[in-house]
Amino acid sequence: MPTTTAVKSFGNYINGEWLTEERVFPSINPAAKKEVVGYFQASSENTAKKALDAARKAFSSWSCTAPFKRAAILTKAADILDSRSEQIAEELTKEVGKPFGASLNEVKRSAETLRYYAVEGVSYTGETFPNDDPNLRVYTVKEPLGVITVITPWNFPLSIPARKIAPALITGNAVVFKPSSDSPLVGYRLVEALHEAGLPKGVLNYVTGSSREIGEILVKHPAVRGVTFTGSTNAGEQIHRSVSLTTRTQMELGGKNPLIVMEDADLDEAVQLTVNGGFGLSGQACTGTSRAIVMKSIKEEFTNRLVQKAKGLKIADGFTKGVSMGPMANEKQLKNVLDYIHIGKNEGATLLCGGEQLTGTGYDEGFYVSPAVFTDVTPGMRIEQEEIFGPVICVIEADDYEEAISIANNVEYGLSASIVTKQLNYIERFVKEAEAGTVKSNRTTTGNLMNAPFGGIKKSSTSTFRESGRVGLEFFTQTKTVYFGH
């Protein structure tokens, strides 16, 4: 069970100091909306400028710091996260409603991400090029960009910041980090660990507050050389358009991810993959399964089993034993899901189960909704095209693979896609033909390895620089070519 502590106020972290503002805002527990997890700084534009100035001043010395010294700090911070994993996981569950087991896994994965980049970063280097002049060496070096703005969402409030901040720091950049206002405490814990690990002042700065007040300065300030953002497509497009010509962007955005189920699929496996992808984390994952495209001959049986599974999921506070789904992360998300349920019904889709705000003991104080399954969904419906970011799965009928892949690709997003089949020819075609940055077979659409590239195509990404893996270092560096004659 979670511990009970007095509500604290948490400061911004600027130039190595914890600072406060005149105004604060609460972080609310979505499972118990009257519970305040903590108070955080409602920062002003002037505060954001101070953070950017601190990062700019710290960059020159940090960029010259030996890579092994940077790596030692990341490794020590990872050890600190591990030593506090239970506490941070509790706080993560309280902030976003995630089941405690998933929160604990996220803390551990984030620590491993820091360690991963501590290793990869010290071997990340340029190339040497042969030439015909015996007195000339031609080679490239990888140099840091400068000041990086990191803006992250609430659904993975520790692992997404870790996979952005770790590669930025190991390559010698200075960072200004703005977490989501729905999950600032978990972001605070990451910064706290890096601070205690010995990160020099100004190298990492943490600023909380409204994007309306500080978002523009964090991406348009002349010191900013790169902006890495994960969030909605609309917000990402706005950032991408507003930055200067010399500011890089890395945008990981929305998804409308399909899972194709062929005639030869193991139906129990296919249903479980759909449930895991669509209802895991309450559907609040950018790679979540939102469309199950099922062959006509097996659609009825698949749908019946899916509905049975959905009705059997345990929905409760994230600390409840055996919980399958926690609450929506905030009231806005709850309203968004309920609005799309209404839209789907009006479009003519059939709601087979769920889609209701849950009430009664254990539910009245939280943002709970039952997992929804729609059938009679046709291509072009809003619930089939638009990202809902909640526990809503659309079952779509297809006559054959050709129709299924056409439906899968006929959306503006291209983040993740999967197919369930035993036939290798379908898998090989799917790998080539699926319009997504991540394609899978016989696996859920969610989840990615920390050492493999991650990112989307179409409106799921700027399709410039991938996150995660060794290639995740590329965004934070620029190449200089050296002609060394003697």
List all residues 6 or more positions away from 304 whose beta carbon is below 8 Å from its beta carbon: none
- The Cα 272–Cα 6 span in angstroms is 41
How wide is the angle at C-alpha 97 spanned by C-alphas 91 and 101, nearest 5°?
70
- Tokens 């101070």 appear where? 50
Task: Tell me the residue type at 189.
Answer: R
Alpha helix segments (H runs only) across 365-423: 382-385, 401-409
**Which is nearest to 300 in space by CA: 280, 272, 271, 327?**
271
Residue 71 DSSP label: H
- Tokens 């769920």 appear where? 354
- Contact yes or no for 310/279 (Cβ under 8 A): yes
Active-site residue, 64 included: no
- β-pair partners for 396: 293
Catalytic residue among 90, 106, 286, 394: 286
* Dihedral sign for Cα atoms in the order 455, 456, 461, 464: positive
Catalytic residue among 90, 106, 120, 252: 252
- The Cα 279–Cα 290 span in angstroms is 9
Active-site residue, 252 included: yes
- Contact yes or no for 387/290 (Cβ under 8 A): yes
- Contact yes or no for 59/146 (Cβ under 8 A): yes
- The Cα 397–Cα 325 span in angstroms is 27
End-to-end C-alpha distance for the chain, whole angstroms: 69
Q: Assign 255 to helix, strand or coil.
A: coil
Chain centre to alpha carbon of residue 333? 16
How wide is the angle at C-alpha 95 spanned by C-alphas 180 and 364, nearest 5°?
120
Catalytic residues: 252, 286
